[in-house]
């Protein structure tokens, strides 16, 4: 899980039922983190991404907001800003502890059709997600920004994964809401070969148990965060985010479509230095980021449940998960 990375907290808030199917996921770094971003889809919805360019003034951030609600959902970041400001976290602009301006890079996904139109995250969602943030186990599936997500013909959701490379911990969290599919027609995840120690727990899927329809919405977007406890520059974080898109492309086909707004953030919490030849060590971190991002996508699909008639993997191929 991304919370295996020291210094990273995750909080989520959602509403599901009574015309609601949306939510917000926040990744907080209370001690600050160097950050980068890479956006590949043709229809992004983002906020405060320009500040992450290596040439920009801001050197550290304290949180990232991932949310449903399309462009309307960017309002959730206001709640994250308020929570951070109350905790004196942000860019220092004065001598007093409370004189800060929180910088909250954010990305949204389109989930407006799964609930009633007009039911979307606002500032209260971001604030509540921050209040719930902790460094423990991250709930996966139809929670947070993954509540109203879809992935091709299946229900999408929040997924997370981590691994250790060169003594560094690399983790990812992703809200899977793609136009493309994460599994082949036989129900086998495209990224099955990234599995570690049987983590997916799948047996041979076979034919689906329910009728599957291609995703009809032309508005999608897979968004997520990769974090590592290394000391990295902003340019190096940008590189980690860029290569993480390889993991997205391995797990979802097609990826980065004109109707996707695929956006990945990278955070470096600065707990450990890279060792050996720096460029080669960075390459290993980047590849680990791609691997955990692909695995996180699979976890998001497998953990999701059917919502508003959109079938979950576990209902389409129950035998693959042992009838779970």
Summarize pLDDT for 131-141 with one digit per residue, the tens: 999 999 999 99
Question: Is 139 part of any domain?
Answer: yes
Q: Which of 110, 75, 91 is nearest to 35 (CA)?
A: 91
Question: Is 301 part of any domain?
Answer: yes
Question: Is 324 part of any domain?
Answer: no
CATH of the domain at 252: 3.60.70.12
The tally of domains found in the chain comes to 1
Question: Is 102 part of any domain?
Answer: yes
Alpha-carbon dihedral angle through residues 178, 180, 182, 188, given to the nearest 10 degrees: 160
Q: What is the pLDDT of residue 210?
A: 85
Question: Is 153 part of any domain?
Answer: yes
Integer Cα distance of 229 and 308 in angstroms: 39
Each residue's pLDDT tens digit, 108-123: 999 998 899 999 999 9
Question: Is 320 part of any domain?
Answer: no
Burial string for 268-289 (b: 16+ CB within 10 Å, else e) reads bbbebebeeeeeebbeebbbbb
Q: What is the pLDDT of residue 259?
A: 86
Rounded to 5 degrees, what angle do the CA atoms 266, 281, 159 make? 35
Question: Is 322 part of any domain?
Answer: no
Q: Which residue has tokens 């290596």?
A: 54
DSSP state of 128: H
Q: What is the pLDDT of residue 322?
A: 76
The list of the chain residues with pLDDT below 70 reads 215-218, 323-324
- Which domain range does residue 43 map to? 2-315
Q: What is the pLDDT of residue 321?
A: 86
Question: Is 25 part of any domain?
Answer: yes
CB atoms within 10 A of CB 208: 20
């Amino acid at each position: 899980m991304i919370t295996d990375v020291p210094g990273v907290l995750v909080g989520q808030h959602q509403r599901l039922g009574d015309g609601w199917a949306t939510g917000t996921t926040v990744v907080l770094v209370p001690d600050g983190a160097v950050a980068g971003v890479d956006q590949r889809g043709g229809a992004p919805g983002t906020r405060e991404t320009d500040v992450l360019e290596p040439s920009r003034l801001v050197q550290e951030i304290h949180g990232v907001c991932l949310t449903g609600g399309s462009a309307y959902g960017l309002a959730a970041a206001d709640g994250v800003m308020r929570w951070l400001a109350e905790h004196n976290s942000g860019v220092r602009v004065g001598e007093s502890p409370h004189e800060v301006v929180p910088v909250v890079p954010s990305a949204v996904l389109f989930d407006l059709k799964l609930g009633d139109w007009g039911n979307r995250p606002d500032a209260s969602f971001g604030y509540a997600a921050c209040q719930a943030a902790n460094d423990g186990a991250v709930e996966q599936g139809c929670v947070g920004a993954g509540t109203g997500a879809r992935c091709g013909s299946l229900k999408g959701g929040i997924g997370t994964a981590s691994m250790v490379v060169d003594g560094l911990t690399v983790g990812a969290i992703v809200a899977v809401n793609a136009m493309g599919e994460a599994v082949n027609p036989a129900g086998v995840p495209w990224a099955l070969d990234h599995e570690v120690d049987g983590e997916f727990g799948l047996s041979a899927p076979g034919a689906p148990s329910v009728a599957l329809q291609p995703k009809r919405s032309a508005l999608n977007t897979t968004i997520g965060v990769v974090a590592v406890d290394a000391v990295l520059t902003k340019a190096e974080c940008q590189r980690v985010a860029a290569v993480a898109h390889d993991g997205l492309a391995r797990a979802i086909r097609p990826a980065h479509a004109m109707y996707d707004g695929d956006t990945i953030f990278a955070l470096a919490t600065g707990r450990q230095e890279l060792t050996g030849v720096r460029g080669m060590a960075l390459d290993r971190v980047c590849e680990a980021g791609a691997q955990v991002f692909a695995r996180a996508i699979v976890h998001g699909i497998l953990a999701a449940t059917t919502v508003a008639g959109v079938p979950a993997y576990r209902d389409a191929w129950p035998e693959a998960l042992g009838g779970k």
